[in-house]
Structure 1
Amino acid sequence: MNIKRLALGIGLATALLVQSGCSVFGNRPVQPVESADPDEVNDQYVYGDRGRPRSTIWDIFRARPDQGQLGQVNKYIWNASLETLDFLPVQSVDPFTGVIITGFGTPPGGGRAYRATIYVNDPALDARSLNVALMTRNGPAAAETVRAIEDAILTRARQLRAQDSRL
């Protein structure tokens, strides 16, 4: 029985030596496995195609855009236009493109009927944001009249902004 045990031990030892020596002769460099960044995998799994949100909790302390805008139109100029030309009947209004079209109307204390098309084309509160086309029944109104209407609208817009900023 000793011989059987001895033969079994020698056989197992030989098998272990052969097994451990296999890697000595075929020593090839190990190729690294390319894998994605774990943060990218998590973001893809959690957020999907939208990607990680661009805002954080600290965004509440950053400066906000001007709240005086309605789409791409300055709300102060828009409201001032409607208030200043309230004697004209409104035919069409589009606050997203900034166009107000009125029908013919006579100003209080005036004798001539006017029709206006107002175009607010910029969110800034300045003169280049406002274009007024004023027509009479006989053709275009005088340039001085158009300029006076534009000045009245811009003055009222500044007053509205001042009232709003006091709150």
Structure 2
Amino acid sequence: MTFQNRFKIVFAGLALTAVSACGLAKPEALTPEAQAKTTEERRETIWDIFNNSNPDVSVSVNRFIWNASLEVLNFMPIESVDPFTGVIVMGYGTPPGGNRAYRATVYVKDPALEARSLIVALQGKNGRPVSASTQRAIEDAILSRARQLRIQDGKL
């Protein structure tokens, strides 16, 4: 038996041992009260991270820019959101009164309410990026709305 064959056998044995060890804590072994508690603990929404009092879990995006992005681009369907990295991916949508469909990716990269905290990438149906002036107009609309939300919040 060659060294490679021995290595494969040992590796396969270790892999089987590791996989079988993962099944030690089965949910069936828990009492009904413990199962209900673990089910209740898992009932969280993505929005709970913004209202979290645990200092170990933090989101490093500006909530005003985040909410303003969702409001300004509400004509586009949301494909995915990740508040931990600050990325919002939206599908194709036509703005009210417009005739061209766009899709957007929004990146909120800083917790500060500043223009450098926001990057918006817009794309037309043809797959090409939109003009710089259109992109700047969307960014300005998001930042203006974010400032309005900050003023409404009253924590100045």
| TM-score computed with the length of structure 2 as normaliser | 0.61
Query: Quick one: percent identity of the two aligned structures?
Result: 69
Counterpart residue number, 1:87:
75
1:144 aligns with 2:133: yes
Alignment coverage as a number of residue pairs: 98
How far is the alpha carbon of 1:165 from its aligned partner?
1.2
1:105 aligns with 2:105: no
Counterpart residue number, 2:6:
none
Unmatched runs of 5 consecutive residues or more in structure 1? 1-69
Structure 2 matches for 1:69-80, cutoff 5 A? 71-80=59-68
After superposition, give the CA deviation of every residue in 1:32-72 in whole Å (9 maximum; x if it has no partner).
xxxxxxxxxxxxxxxxxxxxxxxxxxxxxxxxxxxxxx610
> Counterpart of 1:109 in 2: which secondary structure?
coil
> Counterpart of 2:98 in 1: which secondary structure?
coil
- Measure the CA separation in 1 of the matches of 2:106 and 2:66: 9
After superposition, give the CA deviation of every residue in 1:57-105 in whole Å (9 maximum; x if it has no partner).
xxxxxxxxxxxxx610000000000000000000000111100000000
After superposition, give the CA deviation of every residue in 1:2-46 in whole Å (9 maximum; x if it has no partner).
xxxxxxxxxxxxxxxxxxxxxxxxxxxxxxxxxxxxxxxxxxxxx
* Structure 1 segments of 4+ aligned residues over 3 angstroms from their partners: none
- Measure the CA separation in 1 of the matches of 2:155 and 2:85: 29
> Counterpart of 2:120 in 1: which secondary structure?
strand
